[in-house]
Amino acid sequence: MMRQFELVERVRSYDPNADEDAINRAYVYAMKMHGMQKRASGDLYFSHPIEVAGILTSYKLDTASIVTALLHDIVEDTMASLEDVRELFGDEVARLVDGVTKLAKLQIQNMEEKQAENFRKFVLAMSEDIRVLLVKLADRLHNMRTLHFITDPTKRRSIALETMEIYAPLAERIGMQEIKTDLEDLAFGELHPEARTSILARLRFLELHGGELVVKVMDELDQVMRRAGIEGFISGREKTAYSIWRKMQIKDVSFEQLSDIMAFRIMVDKPEDCYRVLGVVHTAYPTIPGRFKDYISTPKRNGYRSLHTSIIGPQRHRIEIQIRTHKMHEVAELGVAAHWRYKGSDLFGDDGAAKSVEGRQYSWLRELLDILEHAQSPQEFLEHTKLEMFHDQVFCFTPKGDLIALPRGASPVDFAYAVHTEVGNTCVGAKVNGRIVPLRTRLQNGDQVEVVTSTKQKPSPEWEGFVVTGKARAHIRRRVRTEARTEYIKLGHEILEKVFTKEGHALTNRGLAGVLDKLDVETIDDLYAKVGEGRLVGREVLVAVYPGARMDGGEDNIVNLSQARLRQTHEGSGSIAIRGRTTGMAIHLAECCHPLPGDRIIGIVVPDRGIEVHTIDCERLSDYTETPDRWVDLAWDADKDQDAHIGRVNLVVVNEPGSLGALSTVIARNFGNISNLKIAKRSKDFFEMSLDIEVRGVKHLTNIIAALRATPAINSVERARS
Ligand code: MN
C-alpha cells in the first residue's frame, strides 16, 4: 500500500503547486473513516482509495481529483456525510465526490446490446464533470484488478459485463486507450476464461516455433527506416488476447486464419515525418488495400491522431502499423487526462494561443482545461464540452431496469410511447419513483417510471399540449383523429335515422349511395361523418334521396324554445342517448350551463364541432330558434355513466374568519369534491365566487346546494347558468 508521503511526492513530481495539505488531510480522514473495514481480498478497505489515487497520479491529475479519489467511497460506505466532506474539503471536492457516489449507486441490471449505449450516455450525463468519470474509471480499473477475490461468480460476472459494455467504451470515447485496453482484457478474462487461456497458449506456441517474431519484424522495420534516413522509435507487440478474440468473432475466422496478430507503432518527432515513414513503408512492402486511414488530417472525435496501415511485412507476415508523433501518442494513451500534462507547457504562448501547428491540434484540450477551471457550474461546463450532446436528454428507467432515453422536458406519456405504442395509447397514470404523479410531470434524470394502463383508456387530445417526442405526438394525433371520425360517423347515422324515420322514409345504403356525388362525398361513412360534424344538415340528405320531401320540414318539426321546455325526453323515445361526461370528440357539454346527468338537455349541431349539449332552460338556446334543423333530442345514458361531472355554482359568502372552511366542510360532508374555485369579487363584507364541484349528477348537486343554503356563513347559492 502506497504510503502518505509517497502519494504526496508523486503528485508534487508533476505539480509543484499541488495542495499538499489537502492531500494529507484526505489521506488521514479516509483512513480514519474506513477504519477496520476489509476488502474481499482481506486487505484493509483503505488500500482501495489509495490505489485509485495512485492510478490517477500516472495521469497527472490535479489535487481535487486526487483528493476525490481518496474520498470516493466515503459517503457511500462510512458514517461520513457529503456535508462533512464539503466542510472539510470545500465545494469542488464535495461536488466531485457526490458525482462519483451517484455513479456507484447506479445498478445496471439489464445489459442488452441496445441498452448499453443508453447506459453509457447516462453515465456521461451523470458525470457532469469529466473528472468524476476519470475517478470512476480508475476506481473500476482497481476493482477489476482485484475482481478474482470476489467469491460470488454471478457478482464477478455482472461487474465484468458492466466493465466491458459501459466503462471500457467510455474510456475509449474520452480517448483513454490504455485504460480501455486494460479494462477490456481484465473483463475478457472473467467472461471468457477458456478463450483467453487458449489464445494466450496459441501465442506462446507460435513464439516457440517462429522465434521472437515481434523482435525480428521490428529489426527489419528499423533497417528500412535507417536506409531512408529517418529517426524514429519502433515498438511492437502481440495484440491483446481480447482484440484477437474480437477479430475472430467479427471476421468469423479461426486463429490459424488470423494473420495480423502483431501490431507495430512507429513514433517520430514531427507530423510531416509520419507521412515520410508511410511512404517508405509502402515502398518497401505490399499494402493491404482498404486498410489505410489518415487520422492525422481527420482526427477521431475523441482527439485521436495517427496514420494506420496494414502491409504484408517482413517475413511475409500481415502486420498493422500505426505511425504518429510522440505527442500524438501521449494523447492517444491518456486521452483527456493528457491536457494536465500540457498545462503551462511550451505548446502554448503566454496568451494561451497555440504556438505551433501541432499545438493548435491540442487546442480542444486546452479549451477543456480552461472551461474546467473557469466554468461557474457543471451545466456551463457541459455546454462547452463534448458531453453536451447528452445534456438535452433525460434518462429514465422502467421498473425492470430498462433505460429509456428521452428529450429533456419529456412527460410520462412520452415515456409510455417510448416503451411501446400500445402502452402509450392505454396510459391512464404514472408513478415516478413510487409516487403517483400527473401525466404532465417533467421527468428527471434517473427517475424510475411505472406506467399505469387501462384497456378502456384512449389518448386524450390534451396530451398533445405537453408531450415532446414526435412519436407520442404522431400517435396521439392519429388516434384522436380516428376516434373523432368514428364518433362523427355514429352520430351522423343516428341523426339521419331520426330525420328519415320521422318523415316515414327508410334510411338505406342504396338510397345514400345514389346521392354521394350530389352531396360531394366519397363514401357513405364520409356522408355520416359530414352530418355528424354538422357540415351537412340531415334534412338536406333526406331531400337529396327523396326529392319530394319538404326542405322546411313543416310546422310540427320546428322545435322552438317554448316547445323544448315542455318536451319530455325519455330514453328510447327516439332521442339520442349520450354518455354523461361528454367528452367524446363529437359531443360536448356546453360551458354556459354545465349540464349534469338528470338535467333535461337538448343538443345543438355545431358545424365542425359536433353536438353541443345545453340544459333545456339555457338562455343560449334562443340563438338557435331560427335553425330548427340543428336541434337534436338527447337523453342521458344513466346506466353506463359512473364518471364524475362538474357542476358549477355561484356563491356569495360572508367575509369573516372560518367562512371558507365552513363552505368546504359542508361540500365534503355531502361527498362533493371542489375541483376549482374562483373569487370574482371581494368586498369588505362578502366574497363573490364560483365553485366547480365534482358530483354524480343533478340530484347530488341539488343536495349540496340545499346544504350550502342552510349554512349561516353563506349568503346565497345559485347554480351557474352562464
Ligand atoms: Mn471504489
Active site residue 76: yes
Give the pLDDT of residue 359: 38
Give the pLDDT of residue 137: 93
If asked whether residues 110 and 215 sit together in one domain, one would say no
Which residues have a Cβ under 8 Å from the Cβ of 116 and sit 6 or more positions away?
165, 166, 169
Which of these three, 611, 636, 661, is where a domain ends?
Answer: 636
If asked whether residues 652 and 632 sit together in one domain, one would say no
Strands 403-407 and 393-397: antiparallel
**Residue 349, domain member (yes or no):** no
Give the pLDDT of residue 337: 60
**Residue 354, domain member (yes or no):** no
How many angstroms is it from 374 CA to the middle of ligand 1? Answer: 28
Query: What is the chain's alpha carbon radius of gyration, rounded to the nearest angstrom?
Result: 38
Which of these three, 450, 474, 498, is where a domain ends?
Answer: 474
**Residue 673, domain member (yes or no):** yes
If asked whether residues 380 and 443 sit together in one domain, one would say yes
How many angstroms is it from 139 CA to the middle of ligand 1? Answer: 5
The one catalytic residue in 19, 20, 43, 77 is: 77
Give the pLDDT of residue 487: 80
Q: How far apart are CA 294 and CA 271, in angstroms?
A: 12
Determine which helix (DSSP H) or strand (DSSP E) holds 384, and give its type and residue range: helix 378-384
**Residue 352, domain member (yes or no):** no
Range of the domain at 289: 195-338
**Phi first, then psi: what are they for 576, rounded to 5°?**
-90, 125
If asked whether residues 551 and 573 sit together in one domain, one would say yes
How many angstroms is it from 71 CA to the middle of ligand 1? Answer: 9
Q: Which residue has the cell 356525388?
A: 517
CATH number at residue 436: 3.10.20.30
Residues 52-78: what's their mean pLDDT? 91
Q: What is the DSSP string of 162-186?
A: HIIIIIHHHHHHTT-HHHHHHHHHH
**Residue 405, domain member (yes or no):** yes
Task: Tell me the per-residue pLDDT of 138-164, one tens digit each, with 9 for 90 and over.
Answer: 999 999 999 999 999 999 998 998 899
Give the pLDDT of residue 572: 34
Residues 672-676: what's their mean pLDDT? 86
Q: How far apart are CA 123 and CA 642, in angstroms?
A: 47
pLDDT bucket at 387, cuts 50 / 70 / 90:
very low
Determine which helix (DSSP H) or strand (DSSP E) holds 66, and give its type and residue range: helix 63-71
CATH number at residue 247: 3.30.460.10
Q: How far apart are CA 242 and CA 246, in angstroms?
A: 6
Q: Comparing 258 with 135, which gets the higher pLDDT? A: 135
**Phi first, then psi: what are they for 146, rounded to 5°?**
-110, 15
**Phi first, then psi: what are they for 491, rounded to 5°?**
-65, -45
Determine which helix (DSSP H) or strand (DSSP E) holds 194, and give its type and residue range: helix 193-210
If asked whether residues 451 and 392 sit together in one domain, one would say yes
Determine which helix (DSSP H) or strand (DSSP E) holds 541, and give its type and residue range: helix 538-545
Task: Tell me the per-residue pLDDT of 648-660, one tens digit each, with 9 for 90 and over.
Answer: 899 998 888 888 8
8 Å CB contact between 644 and 695? yes
How many angstroms is it from 72 CA to the middle of ligand 1? Answer: 6
How many angstroms is it from 302 CA to the middle of ligand 1? Answer: 26
The one catalytic residue in 76, 207, 370, 619 is: 76
- Coil, strand or helix: which one is 600? coil
If asked whether residues 28 and 95 sit together in one domain, one would say yes
Counted domains in the chain: 5
8 Å CB contact between 545 and 511? yes
If asked whether residues 528 and 547 sit together in one domain, one would say yes
Q: Comparing 650 with 639, which gets the higher pLDDT? A: 650
If asked whether residues 39 and 179 sit together in one domain, one would say yes
How many angstroms is it from 335 CA to the middle of ligand 1? Answer: 22
**Residue 343, domain member (yes or no):** no
Q: Give helix then strand counts, H and E, for the chain.
A: 29, 19
Q: How far is CA 132 from CA 26, 64, 111, 378, in A?
A: 17, 10, 23, 11
**To the nearest whole percent, how much of the chain has pLDDT over 70?**
81
pLDDT bucket at 30, cuts 50 / 70 / 90:
very high
Give the pLDDT of residue 577: 54
**Residue 350, domain member (yes or no):** no
Give the pLDDT of residue 258: 62
Picking from 158-167, 331-340, 660-669, 670-679, which range would have the lowest pLDDT averaged per residue? 331-340
Average pLDDT, rounded, for the chain: 79
Determine which helix (DSSP H) or strand (DSSP E) holds 227, and give its type and residue range: helix 213-227
Q: The C-alpha cell of 280 is what? A: 517508405
CATH number at residue 183: 1.10.3210.10
**Residue 536, domain member (yes or no):** yes
Within 10 Å of residue 176's Cβ, how many Cβ atoms? 26
- H helix runs in 231-377, sequence order: 241-251, 271-284, 326-334, 338-341, 357-361, 363-374
How many angstroms is it from 61 CA to the middle of ligand 1? Answer: 17
How many angstroms is it from 196 CA to the middle of ligand 1? Answer: 27
If asked whether residues 10 and 138 sit together in one domain, one would say yes
Q: What is the DSSP string of 261-274?
A: -EEEEEEESSHHHH
8 Å CB contact between 63 and 57? no
Give the pLDDT of residue 266: 94
If asked whether residues 398 and 451 sit together in one domain, one would say yes
Task: Tell me the per-residue pLDDT of 166-182, one tens digit each, with 9 for 90 and over.
Answer: 889 888 877 778 899 99
671 phi-psi bin (left φ>0, alpha ψ -120 to 50, beta other): left
Residues 499-524: what's their mean pLDDT? 87
If asked whether residues 216 and 249 sit together in one domain, one would say yes
Q: The C-alpha cell of 690 is what? A: 364560483
Active site residue 685: no
If asked whether residues 333 and 203 sit together in one domain, one would say yes
Q: How far apart are CA 394 and CA 392, in angstroms?
A: 7
Q: How far apart are the first and last CA of the chain?
A: 82
Which of these three, 192, 218, 239, is where a domain ends?
Answer: 192
Instruction: State the sign of the Cα–Cα–Cα–Cα dihedral 298, 302, 307, 311.
Output: negative
